[in-house]
Amino acid sequence: MLNILRSKFSPFMVQMHYFSSGIVVNKQLTKTMKPIILYKTKSNLCSLIQNRSFAGTSPPLIIDINYERLKKFINQNEVLIIDVRTKEELAATGVLPNSYNIPLDELITAFESTPDKFLEMYNIPKPDKDQKIVFSCAKGIRSLKACRYVADLGYKNSQQCII
């Protein structure tokens, strides 16, 4: 079976061949190009199609800020600061001033909830999609995941800070 995908940002066609051992992609720029094996199983076809590089979009730009810039944000109340650490970590290490705690494992349901439910759960209004949001955590892994998640929901101004 052969499928052909086109991307508006890519002038060439991509041929996908399904074999029991995997999916082979051949970019038809020249006749001498070798096929590229992208995935080993047919079950990952959805992942391949949803991959941003094939969809013609680029991943969201996530800005890293340092602690000095975060302190300016804290003092000026310019942004919404969301700490994605667990409640146990906050109890052990302390809380950032003017920040709100939404642990990463609650973030998905929080940002998909209605504005009224968000306000009820976290005592702050649900941020607008254009509002600046800084996510913070201890090492940057969870804050990066949070930035990517809200960017996928359409939030345009998310940043991360490692504290």
| 161 flagged as catalytic | no
Catalytic-role residue among 46, 137, 147, 161:
137
**Residues 6 or more apart from 116 whose CB is under 8 A from it?**
none
Give Cα separations from 28 to 17, 31, 33, 108, 149 (angstroms): 13, 7, 8, 40, 34
Q: Please, how many CA atoms are within 13 Å of residue 99, restricted to the half-sphere of its CB?
A: 24
Residues labelled as active-site residues: 137
